[in-house]
Chain A
Amino acid sequence: MTQRFPNRYPGPGGMFAISFVLHLAVGLLMLFGDLLPIFQPQEQPVTYVDMVTLPVASPQSGMPAPATPEAPRTPAPPAPAAPKPPPAAMALPASKPTPTSKGKTAAPSANAKPQQTAPGETQEDARAFNDRIAKLERQAEDRRQAEVMARLRKTARTGMPGARGTQAGSDYASYIQSRLKDALTREMAKETRSPLLIAIITIGADGKVAEFRVTKPSGDRVFDDAVTRAVTLAGRSLKPPPSGQFRYELRFRPEEVTAK
């Protein structure tokens, strides 16, 4: 076979040799000529567009809602705020009966339509919820009263006869303090170690939060938001001040857990 075409065809072995040499030459050329293929990830930037924020009032109408658990679940919490006809469930047993102002308290966006979606369930939830809150409130009230008494005793200061709601140490200020504290406990969130927020609250004669003005933010946005939420939450069910408007300067801060 090799004999037949001695000059032209070098045989399979020869062909391999030639092929090998050529490959090697190309390989070496690439290697030393820095022609190696280099891994290059493709850049495929996500083109993302800021959404035009539609006038969406409530979480429930935000998107095609996941039908099942959503409806009954979310309405439950804000129940106290809902301008629902049966206010009885929402009465604060611990406090003096002031159901009138309850209905449409703070939440400017109290048009929470979805709350009406499942009245049966919501109501039941709301009742349980209110009972719990009431209990907590009663406890808080007791604690608060004991505290106030202790403080008064300690300072040898007797109660203030004829005190107006605008005065510190008076019943209403402590009431507000206690309500806000409970709400903040629920909403507490913070990112920094010990944020401090100072604000002025004005409560109208109808028991609504007429104004909540932050005079000094804490610098911790998470905490600021928690405070805002707490005030909104507490503001939904406040007794009206005994004597017209109530205005006070507030300091919000997380309680130090233990002395360290």
Chain B
Amino acid sequence: MIKKLLLISILLLLPGLCSGQTYLDIAAPVSGKPQLVLAPSTTLSGPASPEVAKELSELFSLDLGLAGLFDVTTAGQAAPGAPLLLKSAYAVNGNSLVIECRLFDQVLNRELTAKRYSGSIKELRRMGHAFSDEVLRVLTGQKGPFTGKIAYATKVSGNKEIFVMDYDGFHPQRLTNNGSININPDFSPSGREIVYTSYKKGNPDLYRREIYTGAEARISARPGINAQGTFSPDGSKIAEVMSKDGNAEIYLISRDGRELARLTRTPAIDVSPAWSPDGKRLVFVSDRLGKPQLFIMDSDGGNVRRLTTEGSYNVTPRWSPKGDRIAYARQVPGGFQIFAINPDGTQDTQLTTSGSNEHPRWSPDGRFIVFSSTRNGAEAIYLMRADGSAQTRISRGRGPDSHPTWSNGW
């Protein structure tokens, strides 16, 4: 505002006095979004495959539409002057697939990026998502999150098991199969490992598992709770909740489970640790003042301060990978809603309104928040943009599905 006033006064006062030194202010209203046109996918060689073309087009529409920066249209309905054009072509040869994708800026008349992907035909969606990631990288400087996977806990014949699916709900795959309670998955920064809590040996213990090899280690099995493991941003440490010293406290352990530090020392419940993107601070939940609220501390346990002051029950915080926001769930009449707040306690904003919504987790680029919601009956996984727009259901099973978490791209 001040800036604006300044500009206006400059414009009003200076003209003519010192020519050439003033700014010409070009302020344009934000009306609509630039168009991104998807040209129909064509074949590079070999027979045309309408299914591939259709799937690609739907996939790009979904990914880039969710990104929210463009008005994505398919060729045919394009208004003239669309600045961005995405072309794709494919070649299907038996079980192998090659895809070529190009993005053009039609105003500047230049090609922004071009990629060729090849692999099995089953990898079609992965290739498409990879190019969506690339489109965002070229246009915004930051790669998209669409090749990331979402791990979640789901009920299978009365037990809770961990599954992994594409960010858009395709290809759910089972990770655990022990007929016990398995919850709170969290990806390592590489996206190829998870830590999770399982009751499979009776006690809630913390396990680290390599997703592809299936190799697994029980890294924390102290008496009492061992839960809510969360990888530090550099992947070297894990923050977790243990109750071996009497009640639930937050500890740091190494990747192989060695205890490095105890961060909280209160008779209260301290749970749900979440790292800041620089790894220097943690936000967590404590009821040291009576009701569960969010607090921030340094990663050595010092310098604790309260973050949330509104609401009487604030839980499951997660720090945005960009560092500028912290998403969390607040209990309101009728359930939970997701809020986001600045790390300095300002701009506390409600993002969801319908049903009960819990467990917000950021996409690796900070553009989206994935969460669980009961808005359509059984708990299911949804995602939305960081500002709460474009809330979309992604899990397709009967559920109930909960505890989503979004990995870095594979």
Contact = CB atoms under 8 A, between A and B. Distances in A.
B28 A184 contact: yes
A151 interface: yes
B117 A46 contact: yes
A160 B16 CA distance: 8
A214 interface: no
A251 interface: yes
Contacts of A53: 111, 114
A26 interface: no
A56 to B, nearest CB: 5
A226 B83 CA distance: 9
A177 B130 contact: no
A254 interface: yes
B23 A169 contact: no
B265 to A, nearest CB: 37
B69 A191 contact: yes
Nearest to B21: A249
A169 B211 contact: no
Interface in B17-34: 19-34
Interface in A146-203: 151, 154-155, 157, 160, 163, 166-169, 173, 176-177, 180-182, 184-191, 196, 198
B107 A187 contact: yes
Contacts of B246: none
Given A53-B111, A254-B30, A225 B42 contact: no
B223 to A, nearest CB: 23
Given A44-B123, A198-B23, A225-B139, A167 B28 contact: no
Contacts of A74: 82, 85, 106
A109 interface: yes
Interface stretch (A2-10, A57-65, A94-102): A57-65
Contact of B28 (A154, A254, A259): A254
B13 to A, nearest CB: 8
A253 interface: yes
Interface range on chain B (Cβ under 8 Å from partner): 35 or more
Interface size class of A (residues with CB under 8 A): 35 or more
A247 interface: yes
A45 B3 CA distance: 50
A26 B235 CA distance: 40
Contacts of A221: 139-141
Contacts of A50: 115-116
Contact of A255 (B29, B40, B104, B173): B29
Given A40-B214, A56-B111, A160-B16, A168 B24 contact: yes
B120 A44 contact: yes
B212 A248 contact: no
Interface stretch (B70-78, B182-190, B248-256, B393-401): B70-78
B287 interface: no
B34 A188 contact: yes
B213 A40 contact: yes
B174 interface: yes
Interface in A44-103: 44-51, 53-54, 56-59, 62-66, 69-70, 73-74, 76-78
Contacts of A51: 100, 114-116
B39 A66 contact: yes
A84 to B, nearest CB: 15
Nearest to A236: B107
A184 B31 CA distance: 10
A154 B8 CA distance: 13
B127 A48 contact: yes
Given A48-B119, A56-B102, 14 more contacts: A40-B213, A41-B211, A44-B120, A56-B111, A62-B102, A62-B111, A63-B89, A66-B75, A78-B107, A109-B108, A168-B16, A168-B20, A249-B23, A250-B23
6 contacts: A41-B212, A62-B111, A109-B108, A112-B109, A249-B22, A253-B25
Closest 3 A-B residue pairs measured CB to CB?
A77-B81, A169-B15, A59-B104
Interface of A: 38-41, 43-51, 53-54, 56-59, 62-66, 69-70, 73-74, 76-78, 107, 109-110, 112, 125, 129, 151, 154-155, 157, 160, 163, 166-169, 173, 176-177, 180-182, 184-191, 196, 198, 221-222, 225-226, 228-230, 232-233, 247-257, 259
